[in-house]
Every structure is written in structure tokens, then in C-alpha cells.
Amino acid sequence: MNLSKILKNAFLVVIFGLIVTACATKKSVKTTPTESTTTTKAAETQKADPIEKLDALMQGDVYIGSDTVGELASGVPDRVFFATNETILTTASRETLRKQAAWLRQNSDVTVVVEGHADERGTREYNLALGERRANAAKDYLMTYGVSSDRIKVLSYGKERPVDSGSNPLSWSKNRRSVTVKAN
């Protein structure tokens, strides 16, 4: 009887430890970028290893001088990134889209195309559908912030227009994106 009680308590302790470990998160401190921190960040980026770059990119950080950096307007990023096979907007993606929506509300004569992209893995058909779902996720979010659906078109390129032609996790993370561009 005592042995079963001890085993039960030990089991509960192990389960509780696993739950606490699984729920632990790494806290990061975000600062408002200034000219000096931007310069420092650009220098750090060039010497950071690929896994650190991937982690930062997935958290929405922007790399100076990278071909994944673009702007819809001055100070308004033009793209958001997604996890593998996902269309869920991250916190950083939602912040970028809020900036885009604010800019679009101020510039009511501008129409945009939200382009959906995927990485090289998967079939052409799957990636076209995934790119469209990503672009629609961005469009829907812009609409919740007051941008009319008439001003937003959706276009999927799937894996056809990679921003980085490498075949590694860092390249793939750059290619899993939606990009908001001014319509012609």
C-alpha cells in the first residue's frame, strides 16, 4: 500500500516536471530601434549563425541589407513570414499588417496586391494553394483594420518566386511569406 502511494506521488512529480518544462518560454527584450542599434544589429546579423538568423526571422526581426527586406512605404514593411505549412499570423506579422492597414487608410487611393509565397518543398499545386491561403490570411487581417476588400487583390506564386534560392531552413524561412505591393 505504501509502495503504490510512493509510486503515485513520484509519477505525479515527473508529470508535473514535464509540464513545467514544456511550458517554459524564452523571454526576449525588444527595444525601439535607433540608428545605433540598427547598425549594431546589421553587424551582428552578418556574424550570426544560420539558426540564430532563422529564429530571429521567425520572430519578425528584419535584417538590414537582406533581400527579404522591403517596404510598402517609408517605415512600413511589405512582408510577413509564416512557419512551415502554416497560414497563422504571428504577433510580429500582425504588427506589420497593422502598420500596412494604417498606411492604407491614410492613402485611400492606393490599391494593393497581396502575394502569397511558399518554400521549394511540396508540389506546385500544394504550394500555390498554400500561398493563396497565406495571402488571404493577410488580406483578412487588413480588412479587420478597416481596409476595403475592393482595394486588396490576392495572388499566389507558390514556390515559383523564391527570394532566396538556397535549399536550407534559413532560405525556406525567407520564402514562406506574403508580400503587399502597390497594384499598377
The domain that contains 156 carries what CATH number?
3.30.1330.60
Average pLDDT over residues 109-133: 96
In a domain? residue 12: no
* Residue 16 banded pLDDT, cuts 50, 70, 90: low
| CA-to-CA dists, residue 101 to 5, 46, 92, 95, 111, angstroms | 59, 32, 14, 10, 12
Q: Which of 130, 54, 144 is nearest to 86 (CA)?
A: 130
- Taking the C-alpha atoms of residue 26 and residue 81, their distance in angstroms, rounded to an integer, is 20
For 124-172, write each residue's pLDDT tens digit: 999 999 999 999 999 999 999 999 999 999 999 999 999 999 999 999 9
Average pLDDT over residues 112-116: 96
Task: Check residue 127 and give its pLDDT.
Answer: 97
Asked whether the predicted pLDDT for residue 117 surpasses 90, the reply is yes
In a domain? residue 15: no
**Cα angle 131-134-138, degrees, rounded to a multiple of 5:** 140
Which residue type sits at 35?
Answer: E
Domain that holds residue 68: 49-182
In a domain? residue 132: yes
What's the total number of domains in the chain? Answer: 1
In a domain? residue 92: yes
For 21-78, write each residue's pLDDT tens digit: 554 444 444 443 433 333 333 334 344 444 444 444 444 443 333 344 467 777 889 9
Residues 6+ apart with CB under 8 A from 23: none
In a domain? residue 17: no
Average pLDDT over residues 165-181: 95
In a domain? residue 64: yes
